[in-house]
């Protein structure tokens, strides 16, 4: 009799445990299942795959790579075509449609490069111990738009809004090398003021500096603007492959020695690549 009672109690306890587990799973999974739309999720996957497939993507590729039934792939693609999010090109392949391209352009227009750059600059200054900045081309000058100060009490840094010359600043050289369409003609419009003994003040010298910047992928200011100050800068590239900004480091030659240039360049180029990636640059 006692054995039977224990058996029934155990059965009841097991049933209660199973019920509790079921309720737990329902409470924690129901909201996700309730609001998730599987076909909409697959449509997003279709758009991503098409965008990453040069020359367009065939229906069978969608079926195989996304592991969806052919009928589902057909319904999704036809719906996206109706909305102009996809377009059908030769050989029945799909590519991004005009509506999606317009949305992408509007999204790029709304990007705030300063908000993307700020944490990257702060990390760069922490890693190098020097002040870093983001600059943009403003007419025939380079303008600082964001600055992250060195963590050290004694530092060299200009404030946002500062304008510097193109021919003798590291960020300016980046713009001459990667942003200006015809630098040979453009530099003829500049006043190549000689600020220090190291300043390139002839067209030939500035053009040589441009070529060096293109070769290295970064630009140097070797006490060319201010004596005792060394600067280095690298380009920031957007989704269209255009150089729209430059990331730079400014420091005293006593702390930023020539022996540190390679290390600084490596950290700087990684920082510029991080910002570029946030702007949609694929490279």
Identify the residue with better confidence: 233 or 98: 233
pLDDT of 12 strictly over 60:
no
59 and 145 assigned to the same domain: no
Segment among 181-190, 218-227, 268-277 with least mean pLDDT:
181-190
Higher-confidence residue of 178 and 155: namely: 178
Residue 164: which of 156, 172, 152, 153 has the closest Cα?
Answer: 172
| Confidence at residue 160, expressed as pLDDT on a 0 to 100 scale | 84
Q: Is the same domain home to 48 and 127?
A: no
Looking at every residue in the chain, the average pLDDT score rounds to: 84
d(CA 275, CA 252): 25
What was the pLDDT predicted at 6?
42
- Claim to verify: residue 100 and residue 171 sit in the same structural domain: no
Q: Which two tokens stand for residue 114?
A: 């300063």
Q: What is the mean pLDDT of residues 135-164?
A: 83
Reported as a single tens digit per residue, the pLDDT across 40-69 is 889 999 998 988 888 889 999 999 999 999
Distance CA 185, CA 180 (A): 10
Co-location of 79 and 160 in the same domain:
no
Return the H-helix or E-strand segment holding 230.
strand 229-237
68 and 146 both lie in a single domain: no
- CATH for 81: 1.10.10.10
Give the total number of structural domains in the chain: 2
Domain containing residue 172:
111-278
Instruction: Say if residue 104 is in the same domain as residue 54.
Output: yes
Mean pLDDT for 122-145 is: 92
Query: pLDDT tens digits, residue range 90-119?
Result: 778 998 888 887 777 666 565 678 888 999
Do 60 and 84 fall into the same domain?
yes
Interior angle at CA 193, CA 187 and CA 199, nearest 5: 90
> What is the per-residue pLDDT for 89?
85
Asked if the model's pLDDT at residue 21 lies above 80, the reply is no
Q: What is the DSSP letter of 92?
A: G
pTM for the full predicted model: 0.66
Last residue of a domain, one of 108, 126, 146: 108
- Residue appearing with tokens 């400014």: 250
Regarding whether 67 and 149 lie in a shared domain, the answer is no
pLDDT at 107: 66
d(CA 116, CA 111): 8
Residue 258 banded pLDDT, cuts 50, 70, 90 = very high
The count of other CB atoms within 10 Å of the CB of residue 264 is 22
Lowest mean pLDDT, pick from 85-94, 154-163, 229-238: 154-163
- In terms of domains, do 99 and 115 share one? no
């Amino acid at each position: 009799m006692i054995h039977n009672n224990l058996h029934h109690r155990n059965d009841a306890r097991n049933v209660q445990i199973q019920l509790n587990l079921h309720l737990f799973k329902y409470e924690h999974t129901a909201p996700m299942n309730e609001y998730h739309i599987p076909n909409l999720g697959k449509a997003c996957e279709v758009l991503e795959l098409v965008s990453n497939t040069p020359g367009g993507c065939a229906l069978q590729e969608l079926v195989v790579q996304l592991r969806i039934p052919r009928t589902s792939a057909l319904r999704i693609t036809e719906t996206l075509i109706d909305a102009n999010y996809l377009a059908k090109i030769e050989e029945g392949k799909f590519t991004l449609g005009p509506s999606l391209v317009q949305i992408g352009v509007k999204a790029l227009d709304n990007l705030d490069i300063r908000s993307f750059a700020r944490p990257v600059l702060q990390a760069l200054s922490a890693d190098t111990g020097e002040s870093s900045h983001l600059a943009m081309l403003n007419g025939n000058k380079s303008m600082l738009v964001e600055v992250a100060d060195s963590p050290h009490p004694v530092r060299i840094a200009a404030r946002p809004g500062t304008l510097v010359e193109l021919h003798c600043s590291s960020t300016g050289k980046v713009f001459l090398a990667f942003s200006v369409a015809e630098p040979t003609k453009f530099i003829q419009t500049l006043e190549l003021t000689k600020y220090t003994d190291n300043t390139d003040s002839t067209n030939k010298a500035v053009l040589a500096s441009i070529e060096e910047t293109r070769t290295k992928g970064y630009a140097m200011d070797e006490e060319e603007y201010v004596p005792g100050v060394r600067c280095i800068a690298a380009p920031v590239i957007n989704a269209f492959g255009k150089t729209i900004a430059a990331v730079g480091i400014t420091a005293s030659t006593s702390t930023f020695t020539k022996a540190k240039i390679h290390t600084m360049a490596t950290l700087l180029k990684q920082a510029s690549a991080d910002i570029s990636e946030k702007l949609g640059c694929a490279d």
